[in-house]
Structure 1
Amino acid sequence: MKRSIFRLLSVLLVFVTLFSLFPVQAFAYDELKNTDPDKYYILLDLKNQIVTVFEKDENGEYTKIVRCFTCTSGRTELDPNDPEDKGTPTPKGIWKIGGRERFGKFASFNNEYARYWTQIVGGVYFHSIMFADRTVDTLKRGAFGKLGSDGSHGCVRLYVEDAKWLYYYACPGTTIEVSTNEKSNSALRRALKTDMSFKEYNEMQKKIADTPELENPKAWVVYDGAPLRTGNGSNDSVIKKLPEGAEVEVLIQGDPWVKVRYENKEGYIKLGYVTYEKGVMQSKEDADIIKATVYMYEEPDKKSDEICKVPTDTSVKVLEEKDGWTKIAFYACTDSPQEVGWVKSNSLKKGWGSIRT
């Protein structure tokens, strides 16, 4: 559901002013603060580089503004000297929030870390501006100064306190719409930027603390030679091929990719190549999976409401067939609620994936 930020400018400016009077919460438990995926609706406005969180009004419509953040989304400006440059834009559309990680490392980059990862889709996350190490005293100056303009590798960078709020309140299954259709709003863009210097902000963010992390779950490789990759894609570089039976630490749960740690190496492995219960096969090589990212609809008709996009290679359960359409169920991540809707039947294929019951 699209909500024009421009129409709500006056309300938002009041909100920003009031919110700045209250101190940032500096203590939180690792458990989610919200477990209802329908409580919030998130709009990522790529034109203005603004994230707005809505909750329902008395009529059940998402019109009440809860939070509003400045951000840096994926790079859209192309290199005129590189005809093959396609940028690294944040993917548009409606998605369901997936897994999360407290203080993550970018597997494809050296010395790049961020706090409070919340998955939008695949390898695209909300997260804080970057750090040079997995410690709060290594915040990078450059990313701080660029908030409010695009330029990331596809993820959405936020101030640390804003990334933390999403981490705890945007639970798996929450809907996020990534849009370029909002009207320009330079006044709000300016209002959402901090007036702190980098030095002041750096000292402040060091105090944004948590209780000790909960222990990460374990998983076991069920496919000999399963590639551990630098990203959520079959074309990403292989870090290491894992032997059948190898135990891995799960850092971010997801489908079709899981971020794991193995022998001090961090990367991504297909969900279909692991099991969360040792000795129990939870996947198969002829599972029903999505051929390429596709919209799922409320009814078997493209004129019906769009529920969300289902990413490439996601494992699904087939519920019903009707006139070239298939009713499916899928999960944005292991602990998210089940999403149900219709896709065109030719959107499915057989391949390694999770057994959906």
Structure 2
Amino acid sequence: MTKFKRAFAMIITAVIVALGLTACGQSTSKSTANQNTTTNVSAQASVRPSKNAWKHSSEKKAYPNMKLSKKNWLDVSIKKQRVYVKNKAGKVLYTMLCSTGNDDGTPRGTFHIQKERGSHFYNASSKEGANYWTSFKDHGIYLFHSVPVNKAGKYLMKDAHELGKVANSHGCVRLSIPDAKWINSSVPTGTKVFIH
């Protein structure tokens, strides 16, 4: 019976993720919340978009150790196209370039990192996919992930070069390859995500 339950759970998870990745945020839902969104100006100034920013970590310093504090959280600024890793007091620990959803496609509000994550997906209907995806809403619908890839797994240069400059996703939060990989491997399930 345990094998049956495990197999059933895996099939259900695969179906949910497949359906979610098909949409990757194409339907929008909005929620609002009041949060402290204080940003560290010096941290913002040090992270600027460049043509090849999508290949590198957004900052030259090490990523924060998320295991040291369960109170660290992710602050996504749609206006600035940035993701800030903040501590409990709101101090910016790390700043990442991002590209959020065009046409107001990224949901606003408070969410949490969910257990669904993976190394790669491809959506045949939108003819794009991404690497290092991590769900933050609707269990596989809204994700943090790398800049997009085509069916062959090659990065889409036009979109990649716009990282941190333009909101051009279907609703997910696009990141540089190393930044997406870090969130995927180091940000614990349950971490707060505030999007405004």
Tell me the TM-score normalized by structure 1.
Answer: 0.38
Deviation at 1:34, TM superposition (A): 4.9
| Structure 2 residue matching 1:53: 3-state secondary structure | strand
The reply on whether 1:146 has 2:180 as its aligned counterpart is: no
CA distance in 1, matches of 2:137, 2:182: 18
Higher fraction of helix = 2
Q: Is the 8 A contact 1:40 1:170 kept in 2?
A: no
Cross-structure match for 1:75 = 102
Looking at both structures, which has the greater relative contact order when contacts are Cα pairs under 8 Å and sequence separation is at least 6?
Answer: 2
Letter in 2 for 1:62: G
Q: Is the 8 A contact 1:37 1:173 kept in 2?
A: no
CA displacement, residues 240-297 of structure 1 (integer Å, 9 cap, x when unaligned)? xxxxxxxxxxxxxxxxxxxxxxxxxxxxxxxxxxxxxxxxxxxxxxxxxxxxxxxxxx
CA displacement, residues 210-240 of structure 1 (integer Å, 9 cap, x when unaligned)? xxxxxxxxxxxxxxxxxxxxxxxxxxxxxxx
* Identical positions, percent: 26
CA displacement, residues 19-55 of structure 1 (integer Å, 9 cap, x when unaligned)? 8546x89xxxxxxx85688342111001111110012
Q: Is the 8 A contact 2:38 2:90 kept in 1?
A: no
Root-mean-square deviation over aligned CA pairs: 2.7
Deviation at 1:107, TM superposition (A): 5.4
Question: Which 5+ residue runs of structure 1 have no aligned equivalent?
Answer: 26-32, 77-87, 180-357
Cross-structure match for 2:36 = 2
The reply on whether 1:90 has 2:117 as its aligned counterpart is: no
Cα distance change, pair 145–15 in 1 and its aligned pair in 2 (3 A): closer
| Structure 2 residue matching 1:162: 3-state secondary structure | helix
- 1:125 maps to which of 143, 149, 152: 143
CA distance in 1, matches of 2:152, 2:194: 30
| Structure 2 residue matching 1:166: 3-state secondary structure | helix
Q: Is the 8 A contact 2:47 2:96 kept in 1?
A: no
Cross-structure match for 1:62 = 90
> Greater CA radius of gyration, 1 or 2?
1
Cα distance change, pair 11–143 in 1 and its aligned pair in 2 (3 A): closer
Higher fraction of strand = 1
| Structure 2 residue matching 1:62: 3-state secondary structure | coil
Q: Is the 8 A contact 1:116 1:167 kept in 2?
A: yes
CA displacement, residues 36-79 of structure 1 (integer Å, 9 cap, x when unaligned)? 883421110011111100123xxxx232x222111111112xxx
CA distance in 1, matches of 2:152, 2:135: 19
Letter in 1 for 2:98: C
The reply on whether 1:113 has 2:140 as its aligned counterpart is: no
